[in-house]
Amino acid sequence: MRKLRIALTKGRLEEKTTRLLEQMGYDVSELRNKGRRLILDIPGSGLEAVLAKAADVITYVEHGVCDLGVVGKDTIMEHGGSFFEVADLGFGRCRFALAVKKGNDFYSGYAEKTVATKYPNVTRRYFAGKSMDVRVIKIEGSVELAPLLDLSDGIVDIVETGTTLRENGLEVQEEVADVSARLIVNPASLKMRKKELEPLIAAIEQAAGQP
């Protein structure tokens, strides 16, 4: 049988996830010195780690080629999918927010509003929940540009420190949802490899301080 495989989100969550595995007593030297390698052994753990973009973490776990994954709730909310979300790991905390140019009120006036976002599904759902029609424009990154260029009335985006908004003359008008890193598991893996996965999930939860 192959080693259990955990898909980790590259970038913002990577260092904290590596530290979590280290706290569990694992040797994370391959993860720390990975160069451009994408599949890394975690010696002595019976685990190998795969480094992927957030949405791909979900795809690999959904298809069962990875048994576990660590991914942000933002990606889970946008992407959905068939997997179990088994733990809130407590790090990578930030929030989804509706932001506008400083001093503007997103809801003023009667004209249809335009929202730019990397998260069109989250955005549509949010405004549908308010029974409000908005035009949603998908942006791939640096969404803060859209209202500055008058492409949109506001953005729905992740706010962590608030620095990006502040330095670009934008401000939060409304909180949409809280976000943090989550542990996800493939349902078939959980059934077939329960004996290995259950203690591992418990150990991850314990190290994350959220039993």
Closest to ligand PRP by CB, 98 vs 197, is 98
| Count of positions on this chain that bind ligand PRP (CB under 6 A) | 12
List of E strands, 73-209 = 84-88, 94-101, 113-117, 134-138, 154-159, 170-179, 181-185
Q: Out of 59, 114, 164, 180, which residue is the one contacting ligand PRP (CB under 6 A)? A: 164
159 binds ligand PRP (CB under 6 A): yes
Closest to ligand PRP by CB, 131 vs 163, is 163
104-143 residues near ligand PRP, rule: CB under 6 A? 141-143
162 binds ligand PRP (CB under 6 A): yes
Closest to ligand PRP by CB, 144 vs 153, is 144
Contact predicate 136/117, CB 8 Å: yes
161 binds ligand PRP (CB under 6 A): yes
**What sign does the dihedral 32-37-38-41 (CA atoms) show?**
negative
Q: Out of 163, 191, 195, 211, which residue is the one contacting ligand PRP (CB under 6 A)? A: 163
Closest to ligand PRP by CB, 45 vs 75, is 75
To the nearest whole angstrom, how small is the minimum distance from the Cβ of residue 201 to ligand PRP? 27
13 binds ligand PRP (CB under 6 A): no
To the nearest whole angstrom, how small is the minimum distance from the Cβ of residue 119 to ligand PRP? 9
Q: Which two tokens stand for residue 134?
A: 């908005």
Residue 88 CA neighbour count, 13 Å, CB half: 9
CB atoms closer than 10 angstroms to residue 3: 14
180 binds ligand PRP (CB under 6 A): no
Phi, psi of 144 (to 5 degrees): -55, -25
Helices (H), 28-83: 29-32, 54-62, 73-79
Burial class (CB in 10 A: 0-12, 13-18, 19+), 59: middle
56 binds ligand PRP (CB under 6 A): no
Contact footprint for ligand PRP (CB under 6 A): 141-144, 157-164
